Amino acid sequence: MLPSEAVLSSVYEVSRITVRKALEVLREEGHVDSRQGFGWLVVSPPLRQRLGRFSTIEEQLAEMGVHPRRKVLDSEVCESSAEIAQVLGQKEILRVRRVNLADELPFARVTVWIPSSLAKHFSLSDYEESSFYDLLTDRKLLKKPLSKAMQTISAIAISEEDAKLFSVPVGSPALRCLRTTFDSAGDPVLFSEYVFPGHLTEFVIELAGEVTSIAPSGLRLVD
């Protein structure tokens, strides 16, 4: 519990208004909360966790005691398609397709495209053992750290190949996430596609700051 507003006001020699403004800023940030007639208290850790950044899927699996595994489907160095070339600005790229499993249950099919100049440092077993993030950072292959990303999430009907993989009917709903990851200089470093079966997964997005609409943010119409 915090001292009362009156105490804080006299200790720090500011008015109660000022004390309240400060406390309300802290409340906005989720650090403290108040109850009328009782007082101010620091928010218990569980709430902060709820309001904090969302953990990655790997951390979630680890918490659940589930063993994650990756399986490489295929990998090739090839000329980049028009779309990829435009995003990454590279002519020759490495494309790796993997499946992510949780306790041997496939929950994602992933395709990653990276400039082929980075590919020569990796082997097939690297792709199974490590995430690309770890591969790129641990081996210090990047001049600048990864720092921004843009992802689009859409709903698609699952393809025949993926249907077999996830053991669901062809055409079932799936989440598809296309992601471009940038380094701190703003240059795109890698492009990736994730396909998740709809019955297994969902995205959670927390929006802080001022809300100017109750409609889902980030939505856009595609043509």
Partner DNA sequence: TATAATACAAGTATAAGACAGGTCGGCCCT
Partner DNA sequence: AGGGCCGACCTGTCTTATACTTGTATTATA
Q: How far is the CB of 15 from DNA (least distance, A)?
A: 3
**Identity of the residue, 81 or 154, whose beta carbon is nearer to a second copy in the bound complex:** 154
46 binds, among a second copy, DNA, none (CB under 5 to 8 A by kind): none
State the binding partner of 116 from a second copy, DNA, none, CB within 5 to 8 A by kind: none
How far is residue 149's CA from residue 162's CA, in Å, rounded to a whole number?
A: 26
Q: Which two tokens stand for residue 61?
A: 């699996």
CA separation for the pair 184, 147 (Å, rounded) = 5
Task: Kindly tell me which of 11 and 139 has the beta carbon lying closer to a second copy.
Answer: 139
For a second copy, the binding residues in 97-156 under the rule CB under 8 A are 102, 107, 112, 131-133, 145-156
CA distance 210 to 99: 38
| Residue 36 binds: one of a second copy, DNA, none (C-beta under 5 to 8 A by kind) | DNA
> 28: part of which helix (H) or strand (E)?
helix 16-28
Q: Which of 49, 157, 161, 164 binds a second copy (CB under 8 A)?
A: 157
DSSP state letters, 141-194: --SS-EEEEEEEEEEEEPPHHHHHHHT--TT-EEEEEEEEEEETTS-EEEEEEE
- Choose the contact partner of 150 out of a second copy, DNA, none; CB within 5 to 8 A by kind: a second copy
Phi, psi of 166 (to 5 degrees): -95, 0
C-beta of 23 vs 158, nearer to DNA: 23
Tokens of 135: 């591969």
**Residue number with CB closer to a second copy (11 or 50):** 50
The burial class, CB within 10 Å (0-12 / 13-18 / 19+), for 162 is buried
What is the DSSP code string of 114-138?
EEHHHHTT--HHHHHHS-HHHHHHH
Taking the complex as a whole, the smallest distance from the CB of residue 29 to DNA amounts, in Å, to 15
Shortest Å, Cβ 34 to DNA: 4
**Residues binding a second copy (CB under 8 A):** 27-28, 30, 33, 53-54, 56-58, 60-61, 102, 107, 112, 131-133, 145-157, 171-175, 177, 179, 181, 184-186, 190, 192, 194, 196, 198-222
